[in-house]
Amino acid sequence: MRALYIWLSRLIALGVVLQVLFIAWSAFDIVKNAGDGVPFTEDTEANIGQALHLYVGMMAIPALALIFAIVSFFAKVRGGVALAWVTLGLVVLQIVLAYVSFAAPVVGMLHALNAFAIAAAAGIAGSRAGKPLDTPASTSVGANGPGVPAGA
C-alpha cells in the first residue's frame, strides 16, 4: 500500500502540472484565434486546452485524491493520513474556487495558488512515504559505546 500511496501522490502532483500546461494552451489558443479575427464569447466552444483542463480537474484529480485519502489509512506513513486528507480538502477547495472564479474572476488567482498547494501537499506526502515509519538512530553497540549511533 505504501507504493500505491507514493504513486498516487506523484500522479496528483503530475496532474497539477498538466493542468497548468492545459490552461496555458487554452489561453494562448484564445489569443491566437482573436488575432485571426475569431471572436471568443460565452457561446464559443471550448478549445482543447479548456476541455483537458476541465476533465482532468473535475474528474481525474478528484478521483485520484479520493483514492489517495482512502489508501492513506493502510499505507502506514507517518503523518500520511493527515497529508492525504489535506490534499483531498485542497482539491475540493480548488473546485469551489473554480466555480466562484466565473462570477469573480479575481478569485482565479486563488485558484492558481491553491493548485500549487495541492502539488506541495501531495509531494510532501509522497516524500514522507519514502522514509521508513520508524527512523531510530542505530541502536547497535558500536565502538563509541551503547546508545551512541555508529559513525557518530
Binned average pLDDT, 10 residues per bin, the chain of 152 residues: 96 98 94 87 82 96 98 95 98 98 96 98 94 58 58 58
What's residue 44's pLDDT?
78
pTM: 0.82
Residue 140 burial (10 A CB sphere; 0-12, 13-18, 19+) = exposed
User: Which residues on adjacent β-strands are paired with residue 145?
Assistant: 142
Radius of gyration, CA atoms only, the chain? 21
What's residue 56's pLDDT?
97
DSSP string, 80-92: HHHHHHHHHHHHH
Residue spans of the domains in the chain: they are 2-39+46-129
What's residue 40's pLDDT?
80
CA angle 139, 142, 147 (to 5 degrees): 40
What's residue 138's pLDDT?
47
What's residue 49's pLDDT?
92
User: Which residues on adjacent β-strands are paired with residue 142?
Assistant: 145
Rounded to 5, what percent of the chain is helix, strand, coil?
A: 70, 0, 30
What's residue 46's pLDDT?
75
Residue 33 to residues 44, 49, 50, 51, 116, Cα–Cα distance (Å): 11, 13, 14, 16, 29
